[in-house]
Amino acid sequence: MAQATEWQFAARLPRNFQPKSLRQLLMADWYLPKHLVFSLKRGKRVLVNGQYLPVNFDVHPGDQITLKFLATDFEHPYSNVTPDSAATVSVLYEDANLLVVNKTQGSKTHPNQPGEVGTTLNHVAAYLASKDQQPYVINRLDQETSGALLIAKNPAVVPVLVRLVKEKLVQRTYLTCVHGQLNQPQGIIAMPIGRSLNDKRKRQLYGDQPQMAITHYKVMEHLPNATLVAVQLQTGRTHQIRVHFAGLGHPIVGDPLYASDPPQQRLLLHSWQLRLPLPFSFKHIMLTANLPETFHQFEQQYFN
Give catalytic residues, as residue numbers: 142
CA dihedral 236, 164, 147, 77 (to 10 degrees): -110
Other beta carbons within 10 angstroms of residue 171's beta carbon come to 14
Give me the DSSP letters along the chain. -PPPSEEEEEEEPPTTPPPEEHHHIIIIIS---HHHHHHHHHTT-EEETTEE--TTSEE-TT-EEEEEEEGGG-SS----PPP---TT--EEEE-SSEEEEEEPTT--SS-SSTT--SSHHHHHHHHHHTTT---EE-S---TT-EEEEEEESSTTTHHHHHHHHHTT-SEEEEEEEEES---SSEEEEE--EEE-SS-TT-EEET-EEEE--EEEEEEEEEETTEEEEEEEESS--TTHHHHHHHHTT-PBTT-TTTS---TTS---EEEEEEEEEPTTSS-EEEEEPPPPHHHHHHHHHHH-
The closest of 147, 72, 136 to 106, measured between CA atoms, is 147
The closest of 108, 107, 98 to 164, measured between CA atoms, is 98
Q: How far apart are CA 259 and CA 178, in angstroms?
A: 10
180 Cβ contact partners less than 8 Å away, ≥ 6 residues apart:
225, 226, 227, 249, 250
